[in-house]
Amino acid sequence: MSAQPKNVPGAGTSECQDDWTIESLVREFASEGGLSRRKIAWLDQQVVRLCDHEKGILWDYEWVMKTEEEVVTGLGLQKVVESIPKEVFDDLEFLTGLAPEFDHLSLVTWLEAAAEIVDSIRGDRGWEYRHGRRSVMWMALDEHGVF
């Protein structure tokens, strides 16, 4: 492993890992049709960190009985539980087949989009659950009343 700090751009890059956000990587995937392996790995880590049934923060008992506002504010998720804009949705729909989880809920959050991207690239590799990352993310967000 390199001794180079994370806040310094790697060889051939103009941005550092500290600059990455779920929103910025979803936007990049939608506009460019792909992400580097490092960015996919980082996005997967963020999805697992939040929604994994055993280790995910959103399923941790500390957060289960909290209100939506307490969860969103406490975990710093204000921006990523918002709906993605139509132009990003359209690109992701074309690239991954992204669609709202249910027809009567016509929105897709940044977190769901990130999970869908990882599902479309990695499939069930490294994911041990019956439902895909996107479905588990939706269930976790629904459990907190985000929808």
pLDDT at residue 134 greater than cutoff 80: yes
Q: What percent of the chain stands above pLDDT 90?
A: 20
Q: What is the pLDDT of residue 14?
A: 65
Say if residue 113's pLDDT is above 60: yes
Phi, psi of 110, rounded to the nearest 5 degrees: -60, -40
SS3 content of the chain, % helix, strand, coil (to 5): 55, 5, 45
User: Which of 115, 119, 113 lies closest to 93, judged by CA?
Assistant: 113
- Has residue 106 got a pLDDT over 80? no
pLDDT of residue 7: 54
Reference 129, options 35, 121, 74, 137; nearest CA is 137
pLDDT averaged over every residue in the chain: 81
Q: Which residue has the higher pLDDT, 146 or 132?
A: 132
Give residue 11's pLDDT band: very low, low, confident or very high (50, 70, 90): low
Tell me the torsion sign for CA atoms 62, 68, 73, 79: positive
Sign (positive or negative) of CA dihedral 123, 127, 130, 134: negative
What is the C-alpha separation between 30 and 145, in angstroms, rounded?
Answer: 27
Q: What is the pTM of this model?
A: 0.79
Q: What is the pLDDT of residue 32?
A: 93
For the residues 133-139, what does the mean pLDDT come to?
A: 86
Q: What is the pLDDT of residues 35-91, one digit of tens each?
A: 999 999 999 999 888 887 777 788 877 777 677 788 888 777 778 888 888 888 888
Angle of CA points 144, 39, 27, to nearest 5°: 65
